Amino acid sequence: MSALRRKFGDDYQVVTTSSSGAGLQPQGPGPGPQQQLVPKKKRQRFVDKNGRCNVQHGNLGSETSRYLSDLFTTLVDLKWRWNLFIFILTYTVAWLFMASMWWVIAYTRGDLNKAHVGNYTPCVANVYNFPSAFLFFIETEATIGYGYRYITDKCPEGIILFLFQSILGSIVDAFLIGCMFIKMSQPKKRAETLMFSEHAVISMRDGKLTLMFRVGNLRNSHMVSAQIRCKLLKG
């Protein structure tokens, strides 16, 4: 049996059968108990060696609404592709919405048709259509300030919209940029440079049987106040 283990490794186990069929290594001449090579069933690890737990939550039902109550933490825990998608989508929708509001003001006041009149003062100078309204919003929101398009004092609704735009832009920037900053600062990949020994051993230490394994750090930087957690599963 030891020879079989050396030959086929630990992925197979030798079982004894009482059938008279062709076996791998018969015990004696004639029909009788025989040994056959049967592949072992690979059990999935509960905890990977990089520290990730192979646990999936299922049958949550209505409990998924709890994730929306803490939306900031939910966004931080999402994968990078979903974070980037939400980041781009939120800014795109906000920009299009605010540009549409500036275009609506110019349209209702008739600035689109009177923009080229010499003695006429529009709400926003040099806004003729939706693309020009979109460019005005981007220049204002990003504080670019080219000076070609600007708001005038003859438009009280434009002033109110400008204040709302400033408040909304600050909230969106603080929420999304803060979320991205916290996600980038999380050391989730730090475990990739921590190596664990291939096998764990049990031996006497201080007069007691002790489970021992080794942990190595591939980086030159030291880890301060490091903590190790172990989980023991008994079958």
| pLDDT category of residue 38 using cuts at 50, 70 and 90 | low
Residues 77 and 57: beta-carbon distance below 8 Å: no
pLDDT tens-place string over residues 205-223? 888 999 888 888 888 877 7
Smallest Cα–Cα separation from 93: which of 104, 105, 81, 101? Answer: 101
| pLDDT category of residue 4 using cuts at 50, 70 and 90 | very low
| pLDDT category of residue 101 using cuts at 50, 70 and 90 | very high
- pLDDT number for residue 32: 54
- Mean pLDDT, rounded, for 107-114: 84
Tokens found for residue 118: 């010499």
Is 190 within the bounds of a domain? no
Is 203 within the bounds of a domain? no
Is 192 within the bounds of a domain? no
Is 232 within the bounds of a domain? no
One DSSP character per residue, the chain reads -HHHHHHH-TTEEEEEE---S--SEESSSSSS-EEEEEEPPPPPPSB-TTS-B-------GGGGHHHHHTHHHHHHHS-HHHHHHHHHHHHHHHHHHHHHHHHHHHHHHTHHHHTT-TT---SBTT--SHHHHHHHHHHHHTT---SSS-B-TT-HHHHHHHHHHHHHHHHHHHHHHHHHHHHHH--GGGGGGEEE-SS-EEEEETTEEEEE--EEE-SSSPPSS----------
Rounded to an integer, what distance in angstroms lies between the CA atom of residue 165 and that of residue 222? 47
pTM over 0.75: no
pLDDT tens-place string over residues 173-188? 998 888 888 888 877 6
Residue type, 44: Q
- pLDDT number for residue 149: 84
Rounded to an integer, what distance in angstroms lies between the CA atom of residue 183 and that of residue 181? 5
Rounded to an integer, what distance in angstroms lies between the CA atom of residue 180 and that of residue 203? 47
- pLDDT number for residue 234: 73
| Domain span including residue 121 | 69-185
Is 82 within the bounds of a domain? yes
Is 117 within the bounds of a domain? yes
Tokens found for residue 122: 């529009």
Is 138 within the bounds of a domain? yes
| pLDDT category of residue 203 using cuts at 50, 70 and 90 | very high
Residue 119 maps to which CATH number?
A: 1.10.287.70
Is 137 within the bounds of a domain? yes
How many domains would you assign to the chain?
A: 1
